[in-house]
Amino acid sequence: MMKRIYLLSLPVLLFSKNVFCQQQDSLQLRKIANEVLASSTAYENLRFLCKKIGPRLSGSENAVKAVQATFSMLKLAGADTVYLQPCMVPHWVRGEKESGYLELGNNKKHLLKLCALGNSVATAPEGVKGTIIQVNSMQELHSLGEAALKGKIVFYNFIMNPEHINTFRAYGQSGTGRRIGPAQAARYGAVGVMIRSLASNPDDYPHTGMTTYNDSFPKIPAVAISTNDADMLNSELKKDRVITAWFKTSCKMLEDQPSFNVIGEIRGTEYPAEIITVGGHLDSWDLGEGAQDDGAGCVQSIEIIRVLKALNIKPKRTIRAVMFMNEENGGRGAKAYLAAAKSNKEKHLFALESDAGGFSPRGFGIEADSTTFQRMLRWKPLFKEYGVNDFFAGGGGADIGPLKEIGTVLAGLSPDTQRYFDLHHAATDTFETVSRRELQLGAAVMGMLVWLVSEYGF
C-alpha cells in the first residue's frame, strides 16, 4: 500500500518540478525583456547605420564604413571578442539614374518609374527599345517561345497573391520573374525585361532585387517598374494595343572586392565548443537606407550581446552575433561563415536569423528534426505574453541556411509581415519606417530564445 502511494505521487512531483522550472525561466526571460525594452541601444545603432552611413551595397564605400561601425558597436556592447571574417564580394554599381517610357500611340508617352535589377547588365548607350509582350507565368513564357518573343521586351506581370496572409509566401511565389525571368526571356531572343515590382500594395516606387543570369543564354538588361505602372500597362495591353517600351540603364559589375563578416562573441562557461549564432545581414540595396532590410536584424543581434552583458548573464554555450556581408546579391558572407566552421571543425548547435524587418514579433520558424522541434515547442508558452504565439516548422534564412549542412538547428524571427513589402528593396526602406518599440520587442524575444537554447541545449 505504501509503495502504491509513492508511485502515485511521483508524477505529481515531476509536474511540480516542471512548473517550478518554467516559473524560474519566466522570471529570467522577463529580466531580459525588461532590460531590452528599457535600455536598448538598438534603435540608436540603427539610426547611425541609416543616417550616418546609408545604403550599404556589397563592395561599396558605405559597406566598408558599416563593417567598421558594427565592429565598434559590438565592442561597446561588451562582446568578449570581436573580429572580422574575410570574404570576397561582388561589386555591382547602378550608375546614372535609370529612365524609360511607354509609347501608347498618338505620340503619347508615359514616363515609367523604374530601376535596374541587381546584377543586371546595362543597356546600350542609346537604351533598348521593343514591343512589349506580357506574360503572367513562366509556363506562358515557355509556351510563347522564340516565335513570339524574339526582339521583344518581356513584361513579367507576376502579382503577389493577396490571399496569402503571410506575404513572404506570396513573395516567394511571384519572385520567379525577377530571379530567373531575364535569363529565360533571353533564351527566346528577347532584348530586355521589365518586371512588376514585388510589392504588396499599389505605389509609385520601383523595388529592386537580384536577378541571376544563365551562362547558356545572352545577358539582357532588366528593370523593375512600380506596381502602379504595371497596373496601367496591364490595362492598356488588355485593349489589344501594340505598346512599345524604351529604357536606359548604365549599371555594371566591377571586380570583386574584399569585405568581411563582423562577429562578436561571448564565450560559454560550460559548453564553450557549442556555438549559437544570431545574426542579420549588413549589406543592403542602394535605393533606400536598408533599415528594415536588414539593419534591423543587425542591431537586434548586437543587442543580444549587450543585454547578456548588462545583466551579467553568463551563457553556458558560446554566443555569436554575426553581421553577414553580401546576402543581397551573392551570399558570399554566408558561404565564408560555413567554410570557417567546417575548417575549424566547430560545433554549431543553433542559429537564429532576423531578416524579415523590425516589425512586431509574431513567432519563430524552426528547421529541425521532429524531436528537437517538439522540445522547442515546450518553450512556446513562455513567449505568449510578448505576442509571440507561433512556433512553426520551416524557418532559418539565407545567411544561416548553409549551416544546415553541418547539422545546425535553424530558426528565423517571424515578425508581422503586412507592411514589409511596401518597403522591401525600395527607396521607402528608411529609418523612419522602424518603430523603436517593435524593434526592441523583436530583440527581446530573440534574446529570450537564445538564452533558452544556451541554458538547456537540445
Task: Encode the chain (458 residues) as per-residue pLDDT tens digits.
Answer: 444 444 445 555 445 556 667 789 999 999 999 999 999 999 999 999 999 999 999 999 999 999 999 999 999 999 999 999 999 999 999 999 999 999 998 789 999 999 999 999 999 999 999 999 999 999 999 999 999 999 999 999 999 999 999 999 999 999 999 999 999 999 999 999 999 999 999 999 999 999 999 999 999 999 999 999 999 999 999 998 899 999 999 999 999 999 999 999 999 999 999 999 999 999 999 999 999 999 999 999 999 999 999 999 999 999 999 999 999 999 999 999 999 999 999 999 999 999 999 999 999 999 999 999 999 999 999 999 999 999 999 989 999 999 999 999 999 999 999 999 999 999 999 999 999 999 999 999 999 999 999 999 99
Enter the pTM of the model. 0.94
Task: Pick the closest to residue 373 from 382, 385, 365, 381 (CA basis).
Answer: 365
Domain boundaries, the chain: 34-92+255-456, 95-250
CATH number listed for the domain at residues 34-92+255-456: 3.40.630.10
CATH number listed for the domain at residues 95-250: 3.50.30.30
Q: What distance in Å separates the CA atoms of residue 113 and residue 124, rounded to the nearest whole number?
A: 20
Catalytic residue selected from 35, 98, 274, 327: 327
163 as an active site residue: the answer is no
Distances from the Cα of 414 to the Cα of 82, 340, 422, 423, angstroms = 27, 28, 17, 17
Question: Is the CB of residue 122 less than 8 Å from the CB of residue 221?
Answer: yes
Would you give the distance in Å from CA 183 to the centre of its chain? 23
H-run or E-run covering 105: strand 99-105
Question: Is the CB of residue 403 less than 8 Å from the CB of residue 348?
Answer: yes
